Amino acid sequence: MESTLDPSFFNQINLPAEATNDMSTSISQLKEDLAIANQILANEGVFDGFGHISVRHPDNPERFFIARSMAPASVTAQDIVECDLNGDVHDAQGRKSYLERFIHSAIFKKRPDVNSVVHSHSPAIIPFGVTGARLRPICHMSGFLGSNVPTFEIRNTLGESSDMLIRNQSIGESLADTLGQNTVALLRGHGNVVVANSIQLAVFRAYYTEGNAKLQAEAMRMSFSMGAGEPIYLSEDEARNSAETNAGQVERPWNVWKSKLPKL
């Protein structure tokens, strides 16, 4: 049955005041949170030596912050650089940011509702991007996935000879078009992108996207081996309502994940 759930719903969920990146958030605190987000995603196995998360500048929506090109687990507030929505680094001071920063610049340009973007190569996601199996919410923690997680096919933009990377603004814009109003998009043979209106919610969604992929793959194996057909996924109402409830609780897992970080 064709979905009737508007994916833009998940971008309108109201967060508690302490979890939103608004004009009252100091730049120094935002950079600190962004560094912590990098460390959390690495510590929780969503990032490895690769992956990156960004946040929109609270005073200038035409700019965003992202780490210089380095291993996410080692990022500190001093490693954060500022980019514009064309992917150009400003006041670089000899620091280079990630080659795929254009993922972030293009999504921020297309989606003014988005304040934070995560790109990872989380391994449980990859099979869903290459098999045609739909990634669907199988537990209440991942209701934000909604009923349609699109897959970006880079061959439609660059043919079959690319290195699979989003290395310029034009490719980034094609990815942003595929993402549309959804919270998550897969990149075939590459990974995924996750968007949210705060750093904390973006980390939450990236973590539970990976977790949902693991659970769904296992449920599919069990269900099919038993001859039971498709697993039972969340309904549209269940996805909508659980996503709204969980968005108000993001500080709880954030604080747990933060407490587990090794001291740099």
Catalytic annotation, residues: 100
Sequence-distant contacts of 75-81: CB under 8 A, at least 24 apart: 75/34, 75/35, 75/38, 75/39, 76/35, 76/264, 77/28, 77/31, 77/32, 77/34, 77/35, 79/35, 80/31, 80/34, 80/35
Q: How far apart are CA 66 and CA 191, in angstroms?
A: 19
Query: Which strands make up the sheet holding 52-56, listed edge to edge?
Result: 89-90, 80-84, 63-67, 52-56, 116-120, 191-196, 184-187, 151-152
For 3, 4, 18, 51, 137, the CA distances from 233, given in Å and listed in that order, are: 13, 16, 32, 29, 6
Q: How far apart are CA 115 and CA 183, in angstroms?
A: 12
